[in-house]
Structure 1
């Protein structure tokens, strides 16, 4: 037998051994599911105003005991499969953790308490404290602090304890970083339950709705006003603010665009103060105006029908 004849059986044996020891390919792993998204989240990132406003005139709220709001105070609620149980009383609560902030994406929408979110007001969102309640939030990284009125639910990221309004985050110097380590200390208590009706609803903006419940009033719709409005008039609501000064700022900015008339409709001195554009004579015209507004970076805006305008 030639030299090559002896080598062939050895090579074949080595090949069989290699095949026997090679791992058997397993089934292709299932792709990981996409992260769950809250019902109010359209997938777009949140952001602040298009320009840095002058917030020097924004004052901190005066802490005072208030009854629980009718909306946003269920005993428990569920978001992303996690059940949250509200504290029976928020008085004397202190905690430290990571704060984040929310801004223009939610500006003018309903908070969990039923009030419109004003990113230029000193407010915040918390997962478990009864609302509304006042707290001092201190940025532990720079020592700055601010008093806020907590009137919303969130944030639901596992490592965050409070969501600040844009104005409050600006005051704490955490807008650019997005988050900061803070201490939260409540300053007030909630009045006794018998002093108010605690509903089971949560605001559509921040809390995932689950189960059947009485709907909260749509505070985004315009209030009935004393002045007469033509029964065929349609409007756009460009924003809703707790502070009339902020509503005036938005009106001035919209008037500079020269799109249509701009008015402020207020529900008393405490607001909300709603900025309306119009009137126009049809829904189609209102939709076209809304598109023009969005093309100039001034959206989103809500259409106000004649029924809600009167």
Structure 2
């Protein structure tokens, strides 16, 4: 690839902010309870799995759920030789689907992948672990590699940026179909990204929050931190609901009094939560918690200044799905199931 003036990279962070507007070794064993599920209608985006640290050839990888992930590096692809093999989150690998393996991002999660040689950008669903060969940052399915136009090359320089796509695009990827076409990268940004790759690639710092990805979307699948409990509101005001707020001085209180219950339910336990929303603004989180207080035990936890409003915990995915259905019926259409792996 042609070398570019290194001074161009000084403008990379600003260009990235503007753009926001618009086979290796075997992966770790599947960590989903539904190992080997059939690819297609049974594939789900919940629960999201982060997973425990794992070691491949003396190198340890620590899965995480970063609010911002944007990196330049090499992409490779894997294909029919692994068709039907369980992926790291328990699905069956579909070579013709638009999916990929990543070493640390949550399973599943969604990324835009841009080919630096052409500017073509596609949306990809992460459902596996890898790659573990060389300095590659993502391993695409052959279907994704074909859509991106890099099958003949084998490996290619790319940009990988985590996003929160609309549900219609998620649904298409879950059944192995491409999402709606993305806009190609602008020539100015492409020049800066190529220069970044020539200098060794790596993570792109976040200059400003991306306007197309609100805090709630960025934090949709963030893991639960151990909350710091504060005194619950008086039982006469809000019986049967335990409020837990981290980094908040005041307890969450309901907007209107509720009639007293005969007796409060026992404290819940488990690893599944229903997340109703996530906010950088404490007042917005408190309002949502108050509005949802009739649904059950509320937790408001803060991680990296993002406040996550959740119901739970629940002992099983079945119980969490029942709670999710109640949340949707109550008007919380963005509610999702999240699994706390206990890390």
TM-score (normalizing by structure 2) = 0.36
Larger radius of gyration: 1
